[in-house]
Structure 1
Amino acid sequence: MEALRLVLLYLHLIGFALLLGGGLAQYVTGRLRINAPMLWGAVIQVVTGIGLAAPLRDGNEPAPAKLVTKLVLALAIFAMVFFSRKRDAVNRGHFLAVIGLTLVTAAVAVFWR
C-alpha cells in the first residue's frame, strides 16, 4: 500500500506543477487565460487528492479538518479553472485567485500537521 500512496503523491505533485506552472507561464506572457496544463493540473489534483485521503496507512491519516480544507480549496480551484477554460481572457483577479489558492493549498499540505 505504501507504493500506491507514493505513486499518488508523485502524481499529486505533478498536478500541482502543471497547475502552478501553467498559470505562471500565462501570467508572464501577459495573456491571462486558462490553458490546458492548468485544467489537467486541477483535475489531477482533485483525483489524486481523493486517493491520498483514503485510509491507506496504519492509523497515520491526516486530520479530517485538514482533508476537508484541502478538498474545499481543490474543488474551488477546479471550478474556477473549469468554468473559465473557454474564455479568451480571464479577469486578472480571477486568474491571480487561482494561483493564490494553489499556493494556499500547498501551504496547508506542508504546514498543517
Structure 2
Amino acid sequence: MDQERRAQWLRGVLDLCVLALLRRRESYGYELSQALRAHGLGSVQGGTLYPVLLRLQRSGLVTAHWREGETGPARKYYRISPAGSATLRTAGTDWTAFAASVGAIMSEEPMR
C-alpha cells in the first residue's frame, strides 16, 4: 500500500481507532501502537500517536493516570471516558455509513 495514502487515510480515523482500542481495555502508548500495527494499520509512531492521546485527553474523551512499571519506568495508561464511549458510538456509526458509501462507489461498474 502506498505509505502516503495510508497516512492520509489514517489521519482521518486514528482518533476513532484509538478510542475503539481503549473501549476494550485501558492501555499505554506503545501498547496502542502495537495493537494498531497488529490490526493492519502499519507503524504509528509516537510523534503521531501521543498528540492524538493528548488531544483526546484534553477533550475529555479519555482519562490518563501513571502506573509504576514492574520492571521498568512508570507508564501513562489511558482509559476511555463515558464521553469517549458516547463519541465512539456516534462517530463509529457515521464512519460505518461513510465507509459503506465509499465502498459502494468503488465497486460500481465503470460507465460505458
Q: TM-score, normalised by structure 1?
A: 0.33
Q: Going by fraction, where is helix more abundant, 1 or 2?
A: 1
Instruction: Select the structure of larger CA radius of gyration.
Output: 2
